[in-house]
Amino acid sequence: MGTPFRLRALALVCGFALALPAAAVDSNKWRLQFSGHADTDGEIELVLTPREGEAVHVIVAIPKGTGENRAAKLTVEAIRKQFGDALYKSEVDDGEDVLVKARRGTPDFQVVIQRNTTGLRISPDKE
């Protein structure tokens, strides 16, 4: 087994590592940054998963032409409708951002954008 074989094997292993999904990260607070506007009527599907808990899907209906600020408000409303005030606090920040915070006693959680058919850009970041 010469050096060229070892280099090919190393490249193959690194390629597989890059193809694997990134490790999920839990946080007690997330920021969803919206930008742009909806090119079409569509939906945003968020998945909130508490550590060692069941994933909950939140569907946000977004009409065509909706801007980032209105999309953020619609998202906050959908999260509040799904959870009430029991587990998470959600609010609009800076007009186009949504903050989602775990309430006291709620475990850290993950937020994933499962589906976005609107044309809006959404960046979830842990705080």
- Domains, in order of start, for the chain: 26-126 (2.60.40)
pLDDT score of 82: 96
Q: What is the pLDDT of residue 61?
A: 98
The pLDDT-based confidence of 43 (bands split at 50, 70, 90) is: very high
Q: Which residue has the higher pLDDT, 9 or 36?
A: 36
Q: Which residues, other chains included, contact 117 with Cβ-Cβ below 8 Å and sequence gap of 6+?
A: 40, 42, 43, 44
What is the Cα–Cα distance from 110 to 58, expressed in whole angstroms? 13
| pLDDT mean over 40-44 | 98
What distances in angstroms separate CA 112 from CA 1, 21, 40, one per listed residue?
Answer: 44, 13, 21
Q: What percent of the chain has pLDDT over 70?
A: 81
The 8-class DSSP code of residue 28 comes to S
Give, in degrees to the nearest 5, the angle at Cα 66 between 25 and 101.
30
23 pLDDT higher than 70: no
Tell me what the mean pLDDT of segment 42-63 comes to.
97
Q: Are 37 and 119 in contact (CB under 8 A)?
A: yes
* pLDDT for the residue 97: 98
Report residue 25's pLDDT band, with 50, 70 and 90 as the boundaries.
confident
Q: What was the pLDDT predicted at 6?
A: 58
Confidence of residue 89 (pLDDT cuts 50, 70, 90): very high
pLDDT at 85: 83
